[in-house]
Amino acid sequence: MKSALYIYVVPNIIIEKKKISYEEARKSMKNEALNWAKKEGINFKNVNDSTLLLNIERDDYLSIKKYNNYIFGYSIKKIFFNFHYGLKYFLKKIPHMMVLNPFFVHNFYEYESVANFLSSEKHQSNIKIRLVYSFIFYLFLLYGFFRSLKIYKPEFIFLLVLLVLYNLFVLGFLGTPRYFTPSLVYMGFFFAAIVKQKKSINLT
């Protein structure tokens, strides 16, 4: 949890702010982490590998704890002092997350990795189908939401909306549709409102 912002968000903020490539942003972050680790006397290895995170021995729990605290604090500072770029990145990722992907499980087993699928022609052709699928889904969801205003108590509707927004806020920066799946559980109540009558539902 402490490394997610560091890996997925901070590099993109640096890229947007300094107008540099991902590799340059990663190198800059890696150099700062190396300097910090040397000052803290933390042992690491494989400095020149292609990963962003430092490689620390698994049994060195104290160093791992310090490093996790470092990358979390580093991430918060970068986001806070570059809030404009962070918000811009966040708002760009949310639509990606909300475009539903009913093909994910099939594609996950058909291709060796997600990266291979994302670079395939099939991914591009699926986008159009996913957009239409998502549009129809949200159209019914909107209708169900307005129907629910006459059926559910306001407190219950507020809770459902809050749970959906919470999921978007916490995981929206990843832009991954499968992380939006838990929200579908809460949205299911709005779909239920389409077919249910007021007297049939007694939610407190």
Q: Would you place residue 189 in the very low, low, confident or very high pLDDT band (cuts 50, 70, 90)?
A: very high
Residue 191 and residue 133 share a domain: yes
- Give the closest residue to 5 by CA, choosing from 27, 23, 21, 29: 29
198, 151 Cβ separation under 8 angstroms: yes
Q: Give the torsion sign (CA, 124, 126, 130, 131).
A: positive
How many domains does the chain fold into? 2
Total-model pTM: 0.72
162 is in which domain, residue-wise?
Answer: 96-200
Q: Where are the alpha helices (DSSP H) in the chain?
A: 4, 10-18, 22-40, 61-81, 83-98, 104-110, 114-118, 121-148, 154-171, 181-195
Instruction: List pLDDT tens digits, range 21-79.
Output: 988 999 899 999 999 999 998 888 766 667 888 888 888 889 999 999 999 999 999 99
Residue 76 and residue 34 share a domain: yes
Residue 189 and residue 101 share a domain: yes
Angle at 2 between CA 61 and CA 94, to 5 degrees: 160
